[in-house]
């Protein structure tokens, strides 16, 4: 299958500048391409993963990636479909974020092997040496204000206001394409659908300044079956950094994907052959309650992002928590699996009687409810059911001398730590 056809079949192509010309270029030889990532945080998130996966598919097909981290554009801020201007960060902060993102990109592309090994780039390398006057003369003259105002990302900000800083962003991104073409013969840019205006600024600059043709592929904005923007979990991004979103949390994210999305996301977020995904679809639709598609999706993506060991750990945490086997997990694993659950710190003055503790730790609202829960067998300490109203927490209940896990009912967990 032609690589472009596979990308389309997987749902990874939203727009292209000239599909026939791009197909021909991909058929005739190795294409050098890039995808840019501005350091707006110290980590990429799942939304960034889609263009990264397109880059990997193309590299596996023999083409050469030049991933770019925006050490310069990250100092400016992209206006694309933002309601307000992004807060500017210091150069030191941006530089540290650049390094973090470069490290993450190295997980997904091959920087070591073959004539198409990836080459990391940073647009600060060329912007740092160009003067404002030279930039206006050599780049700005190729863009009319009318052309820049026609971009949807700019139109949406006209009423609320847009600074010249963000207004000029599209020219900067266009210059990235021009410079990568000049330095590395890059002829293809990959990015999100919201970047179309910025990306075509690059093809326009290549055409007008160098009389060359550049190509663009945008990936679709991924939404779930309800239309909700993908990659958000209870208002928080699902990060690729394990310290921000643990492998267990990422595993749970994929396990909770709706049935209507599971097969589509297998095509988008994994490298499983399409024929194998079709076989999974048939098995999944025959027994959706077994959640085969979600299990494979969670396995593939967590392994891709964090590695096999992290996946196995996430799977083990899931299985042990489901079974209530708290003592089978280390404190490190418990912290990962129970991150975000209510936490109460015990001090020397706290009454550690089970009834008193349930109330002060916020597990229940009253002593009456606490007594009922204990007597009814709804309270567990480190996985053991406690039905004695006079039970007192002791050092023996401190896992690794650090914390105690309280469970109320089947799923409500609470963590007690000791000061």
Binding residues: 34, 169, 173, 232
Binding region for ATP: 232
Residue 165 to residue 322: CA distance in whole angstroms: 51
> Cβ distance 406 to 358 under 8 Å?
yes
In 10 A of CB 162, how many CB atoms? Answer: 19
Binding region for L-tyrosine: 34, 169, 173
Residue 190 to residue 216: CA distance in whole angstroms: 6
- Of residues 133, 130, 144, the one with CA closest to residue 176: 130
Residue 330 to residue 337: CA distance in whole angstroms: 10
Contacts 24+ apart (CB under 8 A), 82-91: 82/157, 83/160, 84/160, 85/162, 85/163, 85/165, 85/166, 86/40, 86/166
- Of residues 337, 340, 343, the one with CA closest to residue 255: 337
Residue 111 to residue 74: CA distance in whole angstroms: 23
Residue 201 to residue 153: CA distance in whole angstroms: 12
| Region at 130 (left for phi over 0; alpha for psi -120 to 50; beta for the rest) | beta
Dihedral of alpha carbons 325, 330, 331, 336, sign? negative
Residue 133 to residue 144: CA distance in whole angstroms: 17
């Amino acid at each position: 299958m032609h690589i472009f056809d596979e990308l389309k079949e997987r749902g990874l192509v939203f727009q292209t500048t000239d599909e026939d010309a791009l197909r021909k270029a991909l058929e005739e030889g190795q294409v050098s391409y890039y995808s840019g990532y501005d350091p707006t945080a110290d980590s990429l998130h799942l939304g960034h993963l889609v263009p990264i996966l397109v880059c990997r598919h193309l590299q596996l097909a023999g083409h050469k990636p030049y991933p770019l981290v925006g050490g310069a554009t990250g100092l400016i801020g992209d206006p694309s479909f933002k309601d307000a201007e992004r807060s500017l960060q210091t150069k030191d902060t941006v530089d540290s974020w650049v390094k973090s993102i470069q490290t993450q990109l190295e997980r997904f592309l091959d920087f070591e092997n073959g004539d198409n090994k990836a080459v990391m780039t940073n647009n600060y390398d060329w912007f740092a040496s160009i003067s404002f006057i030279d930039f206006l003369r050599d780049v700005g003259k190729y863009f009319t204000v009318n052309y820049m105002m026609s971009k949807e990302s700019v139109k949406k900000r006209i009423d609320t206001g847009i600074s010249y800083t963000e207004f000029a962003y599209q020219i900067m991104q266009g210059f990235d394409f021009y410079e990568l073409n000049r330095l590395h013969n890059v002829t293809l840019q990959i990015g999100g659908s919201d970047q179309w205006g910025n990306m075509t600024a690059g093809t326009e600059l290549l055409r007008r300044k160098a009389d060359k043709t550049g190509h663009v592929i945008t990936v679709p904005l991924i939404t779930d079956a309800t239309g909700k923007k993908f990659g958000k979990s209870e208002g928080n991004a699902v990060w690729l950094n394990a310290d921000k979103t643990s492998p267990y949390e990422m595993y749970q994210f994929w396990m909770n994907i709706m049935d209507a999305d599971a097969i589509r996301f297998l095509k988008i977020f994994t490298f499983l052959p399409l024929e194998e995904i079709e076989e999974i679809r048939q098995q999944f639709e025959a027994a959706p309650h077994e959640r085969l598609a979600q299990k494979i999706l969670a396995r593939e993506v967590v392994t891709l992002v964090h590695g096999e060991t992290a996946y196995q750990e996430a799977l083990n945490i899931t299985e042990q928590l489901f079974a209530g086997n708290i003592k089978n997990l280390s404190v490190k694993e418990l912290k990962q699996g129970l991150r975000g659950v209510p936490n109460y710190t015990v001090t020397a003055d706290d009454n550690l009687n089970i009834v008193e503790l349930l109330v002060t730790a916020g597990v229940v609202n009253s002593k009456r409810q606490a007594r009922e829960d204990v007597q009814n067998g709804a309270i567990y300490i480190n996985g053991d059911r406690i039905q004695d109203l006079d039970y007192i927490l002791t050092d023996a209940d401190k896992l690794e001398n650090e914390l105690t896990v309280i469970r109320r009912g089947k799923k409500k967990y609470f963590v007690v730590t000791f000061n």
